[in-house]
Structures are given as C-alpha cells and as structure tokens.
A and B are shown apart, each in its own frame.
Chain A
Amino acid sequence: MRRVYLDNNATTPVAPEVLQAMLPYFAQEYGNASSIHGFGQKCRAAVEQARDQVAELLGARASEIIFTSGGTESNNHAIFGVVNAAKAARKHIVTTTVEHSAVLNPCEELARRGVEVTYVSTSREGRVNPEAIAQAIRPETVLISVMMANNEIGTLQPVEAIAAIAAEKGIAFHVDAVQAAGKIPIDVKKIGAPLVSISGHKLYAPKGVGALYVREGTQLDALLFGGRHGRDGRPGTENVPGIVGLGKAAEIARRSLAEEAPRIAALRDRFERGVLAGVPLVRINGCCAPRAPNTSNMIFPHVEAEALVIALDLQGIACSAGAACSSGAVEPSHVLTAIGLGRADARASVRFSLGRFTTGEEIDYALDVIPRAVQRLRGLSPTWREAVVA
C-alpha cells in the first residue's frame, strides 16, 4: 500500500544527511563531551559545532544556545526559569489560549503554586492582538509567552510587535518557535525575544533533542540539577548524536528555507484548492491569517474527524485530529475550541501538515482518496442525511 505522510507537525523523518552526520557518534565517537581525553574532545568539538549551526539558524550567538531534551524541556526551562528567577512576591504571566500544552501546563502548574496567569484570547483565525497582550500586562507581570506558529492551525503570531511591548515594559518574553523552526525564518534579533524554544524532531532531526535560545543577560534559573556538564549550565551528559543531528538539521534548514517554504506553500495551496473543489462544505481553519506554509486544518462538516483519520490511514494517508492522548485515542483540541469553533466543528476538523519530503504526486493521491472517504463517512452520518434533506 502507498504511504503518504501528511503529519509533519507531529514529527518529521530524520533527514538522510542528518542521520549520516549522527551515525559516527553512536559507536565510534562515543566519548563523553565533558571528558578530558581525546574521545571526549572529539565529541565536545561536535557539540560546539552544532551549537554554532543552531545559533546561525536563529541569528544568535553560540553562547546563547542551551541544548535540551526537546521542545517540552525548552518551554519548561524558559517558563519556570524566568518565574523562579523573579524576586517579586507577586508574579503574573501573560500567555494565550492557543499555546501548546508544553506552555499551558507549566503555566497551570505555576498557577497552583500561586502565580497568576492571564490567557489572552485570539481571533477566530487564532491570531492574538498585540494590544490585548499589552492590556493584560500588570505591574507584577514577569513573563509573556506566545508561540510563533500554531501547531494545529499554523497561524503565525505577531511576535515582533509583542516583543516590542515586552521590551518597553521590561518583561521577559518567551517565544515557543517549535512549529516555526525550519518552516519560516527565525531571527531572534529581529523578533527581539530573549527566549526562544525549538525542537529537533519537527525539523528533520531526531526526537529527544531541542534547544533554548537565551539572550545574554537574561535572568533564568536552572530547571534541572546535576553534574555541571557543558558550558550552558544544563546538567546531564550531552546527547551527542542528537545534538549533532540538530546542528546538521539547523544548517540544512537555514540553507534550504528560501527555496523550500514557497515550494511547500504551493503544494499546500494546491492541496487546499483540490479538497475545496472535491468536497462540499469544507472550510479552512485560520485561512485568512498569516500561516505556516505547510499546515492545513480543515473542517469537514458532518464527518467525525477521528473516523476520517482512521479511514485515511487505512488507505495509507497519515494526518491527525485533535490531540493524541497516551492510549492513542483522540481528545478534543483546546486550540480549536479556543478560536471559537463549536463542538461539532471542532470534532470535524482534521490537520494535514506537509513537509520537505512531500511530493506533488502524494498530494494527487491524497486528493483522489479524501473526497471518496468523506463521501462514505457522510453517507453514514445521521446529521448529513438531515442536512441533505433540509
């Protein structure tokens, strides 16, 4: 059976060049990057080269890059690190209702510890108004955290305008750029944010590695405590192959972005036009806002998204709906309800996310399969029958 992977926002394959770069660091150059001997020195050099590569992708200095275990740790480090470092008795965080759980759940945990949190709502496109962020700021606000690109609908946030507001008020600003890295240019200086998270596996590097940009001079407490490995203060023996992979992936992303982003955007747009033409009543979530070029989140009214995802998987097409929980079942998406979708529309929404390895032929296959699958599902949907009669 043909397999077409349209779930690149969940994870991406490791790029062949990335895998090649990593391979020597498993069984040949297996040293501990903190060791004094030659084995260690080789690995230290590889880690520091990767740091340069990641810094270059973000327009940062190498000394401002902390390697982490992934996007979740990067976000936790930024949020807990800033809040714990703040000395005030009362503390307040401003974030949005459409953030990833790796931002929302740290905020909720801090709320349980007495920190106040304001969740700013977005437009129906999922875009937050910088003015609304400004209005949510209080004298005790210590952190603003807003994502760069939404993982479910792809909407881009006006992070530069928010960074300007944060800078003016002297408040730390964290940008979760996990879904932006490799898809759109990220220049931390241009954005003006002191904290930016990225994740390896959304960028054709492996799972289990990520990075946090911390602008020099930012007050940030440690998240983890252990051996003083590395110069960035994040303890634990460095994941050398993973870090090397992230470095290589960052280098490729920086080189190929200018070409890749328009190519993927064109494929995505063709995909959307094809679905709109082939399936009645489809609507696109976030269609009118600036969007990540690879993401398409569509409402298929009178279709259970969960069933559509399964039906498509049985025909080799991988896409997603809602948030996966640990059993593999689908839970309703908080993002879709946050942008004002009703329950029925949220349950009928499916995300397709393209990637570097998506081909035009794969899009043709998807456009051949999807309309028929939707038709079958609707044929068995009681609400569709009512809608057709009415």
Chain B
Amino acid sequence: MCAATNSADIAANTPADRTARGVLTAVAMSGGVDSSTVAAMLHQRGETVVGLTMQLWDQRRLPGLRPTGAPRQRCCSIDDAHDARRVAQHLGIPHYVVNYEERFEEKVVKPFVASYLAGETPVPCALCNNYVKFDPLLTTARQIGAERLATGHYARIARNPETGRMMLLRAADETKDQSYFLFGLTQEQMARTIFPLGELGKQRVRELAREAALPVAEKPDSQEICFVSAGHYVQFIESYLTERGESAPDDAGEVVTTSGEVIGHHQGLHRFTVGQRKGLGFAAGRPMYVVALEPATKRVIVGADGDLRRATCDVRDVNWVSIAEPAQPMRAAVKVRHRHEPAAATIEALASGGARVRFDEPQRAVTPGQAAVFYDGDIVLGGGTII
C-alpha cells in the first residue's frame, strides 16, 4: 500500500518543483479565476511562464442552443480566451490560443453524444482531461519548449518515495477537489504536470487573484460542462445530430417498472439519467426513479428508491493512476460520481482491463457512463467507466 503523504513530501518529492527556475512552464489558461491565479503565482515566484488557451468548441455552432438572457461564463467561449489574454497581458507573459476544436469534437463531443444514445451518462470533463488537456496540450507545451504544464485543477501530484511512482491525490480543500476527473492521467503526464492550487482553498485563490489585481478576480466560477449549458444536453444532442445530417435518435420506447409492468411511453432514452426522479412524464402514487436504461429494448426501467441501490458494479478501461495494477482484491473507497461520498468497497482488477467493485453497503444510482474512482485516503488508486 502506498505510504501516507503529507504536503511537505509533496513539495520535496516533485522533481518538477526542484527544477522550477530557468525552466519554461506552460499554464493552461481557461480565462477563469483558478488558472489565471496559477499563472500569477508562478510568475510572481519568478518562473518563466507561457500561457496556453485551448479553443475547443465554436460557440457559433448550434446557434439555437445559445442561452438567452444574461451571458453565461463558459470555458470555451471567445470571451474567455480574451479574458485569458487580458490576464497574460496584465502579468506580462506570452500567451497563445491553440486550436483543438477538431480533437475536442472527436474525443469529447462525439463520445458524449454516443454515450447518451447508448443509455449512459458520460463525464465529458474526464474525457477532455484524458484526450485533450493532458495529451495534445502537454505535447504542444513540450514542443514549444515548456517541459511542464501547470493547470488550475484542485488536486495534488506527489512521488511515492518507496516505489518512485507518481501519485495523484485529492486536493487539500475537499469541497473543491477535482481528482475524480483526473483518474486517467499517466505516469509520464503526472511527472510533467503541476497543480499549484492543490494545497489551497477557493477563498485563498480568490484572495491571491485580488492581490495580483487580476482582471478576472471577481469572475464567477464556471459550473457546467463547457460546451453545453446546464439542463440543455438533450437539445444539444438533437441539434448536433441534425447539424451533422444524422437523423434524430430513434430511441423512444416503453417505461416499465422493475416488476415488468408497462406504465407509459417515453420520447427517447437519451433524455434520461439513472436516478432521475423529475420529468418522468407520469404520476405515480409513490416516488419513482429511473433505475436503468436498456438500449437494446429502448426501455426506461423505473422503480422505488430501494431499486436504485447496487451492491456491485463493473468498470471498464481502468487506469491505475497511482499504483501498479493490484494482483489481489484490495480495499478502497469508491466514488461513483463527482458529488458522491466515497463508499467502502473491495475492488478487483479484471483480465479485461476493467475492475469489479463490491460495495460494503449497496450504493444509490450507480450510473453507467459515469466514472468509478478508487481512493485510499487522499490517494487516487485508479478509476474507469461504469458499465
């Protein structure tokens, strides 16, 4: 088992930190307060910094989806790229916008849509981290001479002094922890990545932003998936398919109770999420929840709260982020969605590259498509996609 790690070890054992001076560091700047503060922190420490902003999605696409009323803060709008540029100008650091629109569409948007159509509930931020932020962005950073990448994620990276492996840890501020979205990091990526906010709380980050007089110090936090505004994912999927000249998904079907009784019809599987209670389109005498989506039969299965609980789940495409793949079943705390209190479980690596999770207590709304992430204390052991 990995040794317990404290913050002193983290500072001492990250080689990137030891060689900080004289080394060019690329900062992934979204235009938000977190990554802007990272740029300011490194710059104030006297490091040589270059800002990179990813252009991921053209907000002019799917114009029908543009939110009406007050403009929203979303991480891939042109306004945000301009905010990042203003911060870079304020700090006097070079800054570039790099175009990853094609890759983002291929690796994030299409799988996002496909996942919903397959009856799952995807985690696009994890896909983006795995296939955009820490892959081509890190490559671009290295190509332009930056040997490491800093981001505004709330998480920590440390080297295990015993095994020499890089480890991913939860942020010190648990309310801001984003380690759930980072389980796909590789050893090499972690060796070249720093998370300067990992030890800080959100309040402290705001203070630092104000102290540095950053133009975005008072900018609201972004909360939603950057390319879809909250509650609009159904329209997004339908508009996206229409734009691509594909027909609307043909996934309407029956609503069936866990006992097999057909109690209604629904407009499309992609409109539902496991655990959903509202918007089922029918009234029942007792609270009813979506407990499963069956792509093969196009059925939405509904049941009582108790029917939502599962004692086991299988996970595919597991990345053992901080440890070697365990040969024996091991104890872990498992998170099955971002805002989930980790549940005690036994996890077992499978030959398929997946893993089986057996919870001590059955867990509510274990949803296919979401990530199951395994923790040992603060250490992220690994994670994968719930089947």
Binding site for B on A (CB under 8 A): 304, 306-307, 310-311, 313-314, 325-331, 376-377, 380-381
- Interchain CB contact (< 8 A) of A306 among B81, B82, B94, B98: B98
Give every chain A residue within 8 A of B276 (Cβ-Cβ): none
Q: Which chain A residue has the least Cβ–Cβ distance from B50?
A: A314
Q: Which chain A residue has the least Cβ–Cβ distance from B58?
A: A325
In the assembled complex, the Cα of A379 lies from the Cα of B144 at a distance in Å of 12
Contact B143 A376 (CB under 8 A): yes
Give every chain A residue within 8 A of B101 (Cβ-Cβ): 329
Contact B144 A311 (CB under 8 A): yes
The 10 closest A-B pairs by CB, nearest first: A329-B55, A329-B99, A327-B81, A328-B97, A329-B97, A307-B143, A311-B144, A327-B78, A377-B143, A310-B144
Q: Which chain A residue has the least Cβ–Cβ distance from B76?
A: A327
Q: Which chain A residue has the least Cβ–Cβ distance from B24?
A: A314
In the assembled complex, the Cα of A380 lies from the Cα of B143 at a distance in Å of 7
| B interface residues, tally (CB under 8 Å) | 20
Contact A329 B81 (CB under 8 A): yes
Q: Which chain B residue has the least Cβ–Cβ distance from A343?
A: B102
Contact B81 A328 (CB under 8 A): yes
Other A-B pairs, 14, CB within 8 Å; known A314-B145, A329-B55:
A304-B140, A306-B98, A307-B143, A310-B96, A313-B94, A327-B78, A327-B81, A328-B81, A328-B85, A329-B81, A330-B98, A380-B139, A380-B142, A381-B143
Give every chain B residue within 8 A of A328 (Cβ-Cβ): 81, 85, 96-97
In the assembled complex, the Cα of A313 lies from the Cα of B101 at a distance in Å of 22
Q: B102 to chain A: closest CB distance in Å?
A: 9
Give every chain B residue within 8 A of A376 (Cβ-Cβ): 143, 145
From B53, B81, B99, B142, residue with most partner A Cβ within 10 Å:
B99
Contact A304 B50 (CB under 8 A): no
In the assembled complex, the Cα of A380 lies from the Cα of B145 at a distance in Å of 11
Binding site for A on B (CB under 8 A): 24, 50, 53, 55, 78, 81-82, 85, 94, 96-99, 101, 139-140, 142-145
In the assembled complex, the Cα of A37 lies from the Cα of B140 at a distance in Å of 60
Q: Which chain B residue has the least Cβ–Cβ distance from A322?
A: B99
Q: A204 to chain B: closest CB distance in Å?
A: 26
In the assembled complex, the Cα of A329 lies from the Cα of B82 at a distance in Å of 11
In the assembled complex, the Cα of A96 lies from the Cα of B99 at a distance in Å of 27
From A313, A326, A329, residue with most partner B Cβ within 10 Å:
A329
Q: B186 to chain A: closest CB distance in Å?
A: 15
From B50, B53, B55, B85, residue with most partner A Cβ within 10 Å:
B55
- Interchain CB contact (< 8 A) of B55 among A311, A327, A381: A327
Interface class of chain A by DSSP: mixed
In the assembled complex, the Cα of A199 lies from the Cα of B144 at a distance in Å of 34
Give every chain A residue within 8 A of B144 (Cβ-Cβ): 307, 310-311, 314
In the assembled complex, the Cα of A331 lies from the Cα of B55 at a distance in Å of 10
- Interchain CB contact (< 8 A) of B143 among A304, A327, A331: A304
Give every chain B residue within 8 A of A307 (Cβ-Cβ): 98, 140, 143-144
List 11 contacting pairs A-B, 8 Å CB cutoff, sorted by A: A306-B98, A306-B99, A306-B140, A307-B140, A310-B98, A311-B143, A311-B145, A325-B55, A329-B55, A376-B143, A376-B145
In the assembled complex, the Cα of A381 lies from the Cα of B99 at a distance in Å of 17
Q: A76 to chain B: closest CB distance in Å?
A: 21
Contact A327 B82 (CB under 8 A): yes
In the assembled complex, the Cα of A262 lies from the Cα of B98 at a distance in Å of 36
In the assembled complex, the Cα of A364 lies from the Cα of B372 at a distance in Å of 56
Q: A326 to chain B: closest CB distance in Å?
A: 6
Give every chain A residue within 8 A of B139 (Cβ-Cβ): 380
Give every chain B residue within 8 A of A381 (Cβ-Cβ): 143
In the assembled complex, the Cα of A17 lies from the Cα of B94 at a distance in Å of 31
A331 touching B99 in the complex, CB below 8 Å, given contacts A307-B140, A311-B143: yes
- Interchain CB contact (< 8 A) of A326 among B24, B50, B78, B98: B78
Q: A380 to chain B: closest CB distance in Å?
A: 5
Contact B99 A314 (CB under 8 A): no
Contact A327 B94 (CB under 8 A): no
In the assembled complex, the Cα of A325 lies from the Cα of B143 at a distance in Å of 22
In the assembled complex, the Cα of A210 lies from the Cα of B14 at a distance in Å of 56
Q: Which chain A residue has the least Cβ–Cβ distance from B138?
A: A380
In the assembled complex, the Cα of A125 lies from the Cα of B156 at a distance in Å of 52
Give every chain B residue within 8 A of A331 (Cβ-Cβ): 99
Give every chain B residue within 8 A of A311 (Cβ-Cβ): 143-145
Give every chain B residue within 8 A of A326 (Cβ-Cβ): 78
In the assembled complex, the Cα of A110 lies from the Cα of B330 at a distance in Å of 68
Give every chain A residue within 8 A of B50 (Cβ-Cβ): 314
Q: B93 to chain A: closest CB distance in Å?
A: 11
In the assembled complex, the Cα of A329 lies from the Cα of B76 at a distance in Å of 12
Q: A350 to chain B: closest CB distance in Å?
A: 14
From A311, A328, A330, A377, residue with most partner B Cβ within 10 Å:
A328
Give every chain B residue within 8 A of A377 (Cβ-Cβ): 143
Q: B145 to chain A: closest CB distance in Å?
A: 6
Q: A103 to chain B: closest CB distance in Å?
A: 21
Q: A313 to chain B: closest CB distance in Å?
A: 7
In the assembled complex, the Cα of A190 lies from the Cα of B24 at a distance in Å of 55
Q: B216 to chain A: closest CB distance in Å?
A: 16
Give every chain B residue within 8 A of A314 (Cβ-Cβ): 24, 50, 94, 144-145
Give every chain B residue within 8 A of A325 (Cβ-Cβ): 55, 99
In the assembled complex, the Cα of A330 lies from the Cα of B102 at a distance in Å of 12
Contact B78 A330 (CB under 8 A): no
In the assembled complex, the Cα of A376 lies from the Cα of B141 at a distance in Å of 12
Q: A47 to chain B: closest CB distance in Å?
A: 36
Q: B100 to chain A: closest CB distance in Å?
A: 9
Q: Which chain B residue has the least Cβ–Cβ distance from A303?
A: B143
Give every chain A residue within 8 A of B143 (Cβ-Cβ): 304, 307, 311, 376-377, 380-381
In the assembled complex, the Cα of A123 lies from the Cα of B75 at a distance in Å of 41
Q: B135 to chain A: closest CB distance in Å?
A: 11
From A310, A311, A314, A331, residue with most partner B Cβ within 10 Å:
A310
